[in-house]
Structures are given as structure tokens and as C-alpha cells.
């Protein structure tokens, strides 16, 4: 009888403390709201559903249909400011981030972050996020316009918000391994004049080769229509690439020094058509750069040992100034 009472009391205490710590929790600039939270003392498990992360000063939000924390160290959760979890699985979340409109930014400085005392230290041995939908949006006049979107499967091991003695780390954030698979990526650039698509992209820090399959760069406008949109000479592109592979990608350099460094790289099966209409006025600023100038304009330190291009078919044509319209 005593054991039963202690078990019930422990279960009630675990449920109460878990709900108290999760409901309204502050995660960075985000506030967590969850309509349903279930706990299981024997499995040391917390499961919450219909959750949403929102911010006060933007429309950025993360919608979480279901999330499950398993193998929680109870003593850390109850008596300390630490949380250690064996596995954290977030199923099918949707992330909506909005492009910041500088013209709408207020001169008033943002309110100070809430002072919640010492920040919680979190160690997650395995974070799994399957079927993540990511959207980066621009607030249009009538409705938001999607700038970038993709579907993701993401795994990270030994995620630590305090320090990391091994693996990859920066300041008070570290992990030992990360694995990413993305598909159906779409990115609008140059104010919607061009679209960049990829079919699949994969990366694993244990074999640090970034592989992209079926990359396409083109315009929703025809070769003669694009110039009508810009009013000046503008290169029109229709480019497809079967695969791009960047080998020995230096993840530590990217995290610590914000530098893009990789070993040899290869591009296979390029099919490109480029067109320029010389009937239109020449732009005040050139919209194209030589390859050397383009490399120098990259805002991050960049290094590549070698590049191999296999099977390229490139066609360039232009309509001359004196050609018939």
C-alpha cells in the first residue's frame, strides 16, 4: 500500500512539475504554448501536442503537432536547473520565419529580455525532427509570399547548450554529430525574377560531403519577357545540373569562424541556356560579374581545393541592338 501511494505521489509530482516547466516556457525569444501535455513516470516521458512557439515582436512561429521527450533524468528536472534527455522527437513541425521589413522597424529599442535567473542547461543525447516544413516568407501587400521553402529530416546527437568537450561547438552550444536530408527546396531571388530549385540535398558530419541532386535555376518569364520586367539589359537563365558534390566540408570552420571550406568538388551534367536582349537600355550597374569578381564578392571566407566539371553544354545568345524587334 505504501509503495502504491509513493508511486501515485511521484507520478503526480512528476506530472505537475513537467507541466509547470513546459507551459509558458521561454525558449530564446520564443514563448511555448501547448494545449495538451501527458506524462509517464515509469518511462520518464513527457509528450505534448498542438504546441506553438511565438514571439512578441514578429510573426515568426513554429507549430508542433506532437513532441516527445524520453529518458528524462528526473532528479535534474526537479531539483536543478538542468535537463538531460535521452531522446527528443519533434514530429512534423512547421517553421514560419518572416523577412524583416526595415522600413517598419521602430526607433524604439526592443524591450529587455525577461530575467528568468540562471539559464537552463539542456543536454539532449538524440534530437530527431522528421518531416519538418520550413518556410521563409516576405510580407506582401495582400498576403505573405514564400521566398524559400523545403522539407527536412534532421537529426543531431549530444546537443548541449552549456559546453561541449568534443565534436562541434561555439560558445555555449555544441553537438557531436548532425545529419540532414532536405528535398523539394525552392528559393525566389532577384525579387521573383528567378527561381532556384533542388530535388534533394544530404549531409552528414560523419562523412562530411554535401550532395545536391537536380538543381535548376530559371526564370518564370520568357527570354523576351524578362527585359520588359526590368526595363534594362538583363541576363535570362535556364540552367539545370544533375548533381553537385562538395567533399570534406569543414563543419568546424563554418561554426567557429563562419568560413566555407571544403576539399575537392564536382559538378555533373550542366545544361545551360543564357540570353541577353541588347535592344533594351544598358543598366547603370552591371548585373553580371566575371567569375573572379563573383568569388571575391562572397561575404564569407571561402576555399575550395579543386573543381571538376563533367559534361557541360552551355549556350549563350543575344539579340543585337540593330536586330529586328
- Rounded to an integer, what distance in angstroms lies between the CA atom of residue 161 and that of residue 56? 23
Q: Which residues contact 253 (CB under 8 A, 6 or more apart)?
A: 259, 260, 261
pTM higher than 0.85 for the full model?
no
Helix (H, G, I), strand (E, B) or coil at 113: coil
Q: Which cell is 10 given?
A: 511521484
Residue-wise pLDDT for 67-120, tens only, equals 998 888 776 666 666 778 899 999 999 999 998 765 555 444 444 444 445 566
- Rounded to an integer, what distance in angstroms lies between the CA atom of residue 68 and that of residue 295? 44
- pLDDT, residue 1, reads 58
Radius of gyration of the chain from its Cα atoms, rounded to whole angstroms: 25
Q: Cα 59 to the chain's mean position, in Å?
A: 17
Q: Cα 304 to the chain's mean position, in Å?
A: 23
Helix (H, G, I), strand (E, B) or coil at 38: strand
Q: Cα 289 to the chain's mean position, in Å?
A: 28
Residue-wise pLDDT for 117-126, tens only, equals 556 677 889 9
Average confidence score pLDDT of the chain: 81
- pLDDT, residue 45, reads 84
Looking at residues 252-260, what average pLDDT do you find? 83
Q: Which cell is 301 given?
A: 571566407
> Is 54 buried (19+), middle (13-18) or exposed (0-12) by CB count in 10 A?
middle
Residues 262 and 255: beta-carbon distance below 8 Å: no
- Rounded to an integer, what distance in angstroms lies between the CA atom of residue 202 and that of residue 209? 8
The stretches of the chain forming alpha helices (DSSP H) are 2-22, 74-79, 226-230, 251-257, 291-296
Residue-wise pLDDT for 268-292, tens only, equals 999 999 998 887 887 776 555 555 5
Residue-wise pLDDT for 13-66, tens only, equals 556 556 666 666 666 678 888 878 887 777 778 888 898 999 888 889 999 999
- Sorted by where each begins, the domain ranges of the chain are 1-100+120-189, 203-325
Amino acid at each position: 500500500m505504501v509503495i502504491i501511494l509513493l508511486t501515485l505521489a511521484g507520478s503526480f509530482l512528476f506530472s505537475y512539475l513537467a507541466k509547470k516547466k513546459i507551459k509558458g516556457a521561454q525558449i530564446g525569444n520564443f514563448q511555448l504554448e501547448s494545449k495538451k501535455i501527458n506524462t509517464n513516470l515509469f518511462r520518464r516521458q513527457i509528450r505534448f501536442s498542438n504546441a506553438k512557439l511565438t514571439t512578441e515582436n514578429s510573426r515568426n512561429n513554429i507549430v508542433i503537432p506532437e513532441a516527445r521527450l524520453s529518458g528524462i533524468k528526473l532528479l535534474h528536472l526537479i531539483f536543478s536547473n538542468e535537463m538531460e534527455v535521452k531522446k527528443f522527437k519533434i514530429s512534423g513541425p512547421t517553421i514560419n520565419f518572416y523577412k524583416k521589413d526595415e522600413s517598419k522597424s521602430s526607433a524604439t529599442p526592443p524591450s529587455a529580455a525577461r530575467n528568468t535567473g540562471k539559464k537552463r542547461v539542456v543536454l539532449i543525447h538524440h534530437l530527431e525532427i522528421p518531416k519538418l516544413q520550413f518556410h521563409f516568407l516576405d510580407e506582401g501587400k495582400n498576403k505573405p509570399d514564400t521566398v524559400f521553402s523545403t522539407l527536412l529530416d534532421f537529426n543531431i546527437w549530444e546537443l548541449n547548450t552549456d559546453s561541449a568537450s568534443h565534436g562541434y561547438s561555439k560558445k555555449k552550444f555544441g553537438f557531436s554529430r548532425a545529419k540532414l536530408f532536405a528535398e523539394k527546396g525552392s528559393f525566389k531571388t532577384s525579387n521573383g525574377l528567378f527561381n532556384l530549385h533542388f530535388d534533394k540535398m544530404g549531409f552528414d558530419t560523419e562523412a562530411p560531403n554535401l550532395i545536391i541532386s537536380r538543381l535548376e535555376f530559371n526564370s518564370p518569364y520568357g527570354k523576351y519577357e524578362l527585359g520588359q520586367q526590368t526595363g534594362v539589359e538583363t541576363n535570362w537563365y535556364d540552367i539545370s545540373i544533375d548533381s553537385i558534390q562538395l567533399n570534406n566540408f569543414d563543419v568546424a570552420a563554418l561554426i567557429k569562424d563562419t568560413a566555407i571550406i571544403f576539399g575537392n568538388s564536382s559538378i555533373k551534367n550542366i545544361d545551360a541556356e543564357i540570353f541577353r536582349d541588347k535592344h533594351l537600355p544598358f543598366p547603370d550597374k552591371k548585373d553580371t560579374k566575371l567569375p573572379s569578381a563573383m568569388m571575391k564578392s562572397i561575404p564569407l571566407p571561402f576555399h575550395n581545393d579543386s573543381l571538376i566539371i563533367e559534361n557541360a553544354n552551355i549556350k549563350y545568345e543575344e539579340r543585337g541592338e540593330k536586330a529586328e524587334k
